[in-house]
A = this chain, B = another copy of it.
């Protein structure tokens, strides 16, 4: 029966993270793998009350099918929230999706034929890479600097691909506290991305699920706001701020492109859950998102601070070792000396009861084996300290072995 499967499935493997996580389930392991938000930061009591009300009293809408674009009242409430961040647009510029991951899927469906060329950070969000693989894209990785994707290299690679007559389609970026690096794209580079898109006839896919979670530095405006040619599609999500389980996200962009996504979405799932859209609408109508977020940020900042302190304290003092200093989000990215393979090291870490995600899976085309992603969202500050201490020792030991060998 294997002969019946599509070409796209033959290229798609299971997620490295997913398989890795299976090894981190033992209770004695302190795991910096995964990338889940802390459910205690979600306003569960008020969401419970909002759900009771919306399902009980508004069932003719909250339990019924809705339009593919998404519940208007929901989109309006999200617009108000975004406007409070200074980001303003119209109802025709926003649709609801069943998670940002679905938004990526819709974008792939709308733009990608097999072999089409797209560009993204190296490293980049794994779920996006998996989706692009499913759509048989030729994904070209662009180095990620401390202020985001390297736009000079990007332009060279775009030029080169077009000289080779390849079908270039879009640039995919996570501009704020990128998964996996934690790095934020500078304002200057946001501007450059839009210019490159216009110059080379590309679309920019801006995926920003963490943008409400800035706890340090200065707010950057969405890439979308630099765009005057209708070339930027932005996706953001409720998953890190209100609830991951509701799978609610929005896409903001030019009506002409959204119309294509809506046609595609209609054939994909008819509409996003009206139930969860109405629950969140009710919640947003009665609560101050800014106030809620300030509490959430406090938690993540505390954890990041402890992790940065612990890294400085417990990781070997070696110029080959570095890590990012995120201004928001959930992740820190560690680079070790090239000789160290973090996939091999992973099993040694597991036997010392500490876990992380090896970085190699986050690259579309590069072979980089000396990086790792650490997530600080779920653990207590005490566990973060202990875990980083354990991991520091594992790395120290490995470096001694490696330098001994060489």
Binding site for B on A (CB under 8 A): 1, 3-9, 12-15, 18, 36-37, 39-40, 42, 44-45, 47-49, 51-53, 55-57, 59-66, 68, 98-99, 101-102, 105, 109-113, 116, 127, 130-131, 133-134, 169-170, 201-203, 230-231, 239, 243-247, 256-257, 260, 263-264, 266-276, 278-279
Are A272 and B247 neighbours in the complex by a CB distance under 8 Å? yes
The 4 closest A-B pairs by CB, nearest first: A48-B56, A44-B59, A245-B274, A52-B52
Residues of B within 8 A of A272 (CB): 247
Chain B residue at minimal CB-CB distance from A15: B266
Are B245 and A133 neighbours in the complex by a CB distance under 8 Å? no
Are B268 and A131 neighbours in the complex by a CB distance under 8 Å? yes
Min CB distance, A78 to chain B, in Å?
Answer: 18
Docked CA distance A1–B110 (Å)? 12
Are A42 and B63 neighbours in the complex by a CB distance under 8 Å? yes
Given known contacts A18-B266, A112-B6, A48 and B47 CB-to-CB distance under 8 angstroms = no
Residues of B within 8 A of A269 (CB): 98-99, 101-102, 105, 247
The 8 Å CB contact of A263, one of B12, B112, B169, B246, is: B12
Residues of B within 8 A of A271 (CB): 247
Chain B residue at minimal CB-CB distance from A268: B105
Residues of B within 8 A of A5 (CB): 110-111, 260
Are B201 and A263 neighbours in the complex by a CB distance under 8 Å? no
Min CB distance, A356 to chain B, in Å?
Answer: 19
Given known contacts A6-B109, A264-B9, A274-B245, A98 and B98 CB-to-CB distance under 8 angstroms = yes
Min CB distance, A43 to chain B, in Å?
Answer: 9
The 8 Å CB contact of A244, one of B15, B51, B63, is: B63
Chain B residue at minimal CB-CB distance from A13: B263
Residues of B within 8 A of A170 (CB): 4
Given known contacts A60-B39, A276-B273, A102 and B268 CB-to-CB distance under 8 angstroms = yes
Chain B residue at minimal CB-CB distance from A135: B6
Are B245 and A65 neighbours in the complex by a CB distance under 8 Å? yes
The 8 Å CB contact of A245, one of B13, B56, B275, is: B275
Are A59 and B42 neighbours in the complex by a CB distance under 8 Å? yes
The 8 Å CB contact of A6, one of B98, B110, B270, B278, is: B110
Docked CA distance A262–B18 (Å)? 12
Residues of B within 8 A of A276 (CB): 273, 275-276
List 8 additional contacts besides A127-B266, A243-B275; criterion CB under 8 Å: A4-B169, A8-B109, A18-B266, A39-B63, A47-B59, A48-B52, A49-B52, A65-B244
Chain B residue at minimal CB-CB distance from A202: B4
Are A63 and B44 neighbours in the complex by a CB distance under 8 Å? yes
Query: What are 19 A-B contacts with C-beta separation under 8 Å?
Result: A4-B111, A6-B109, A8-B113, A9-B263, A14-B266, A39-B63, A42-B59, A47-B55, A48-B53, A48-B59, A51-B279, A63-B245, A63-B246, A64-B244, A99-B269, A102-B269, A243-B275, A247-B269, A247-B270
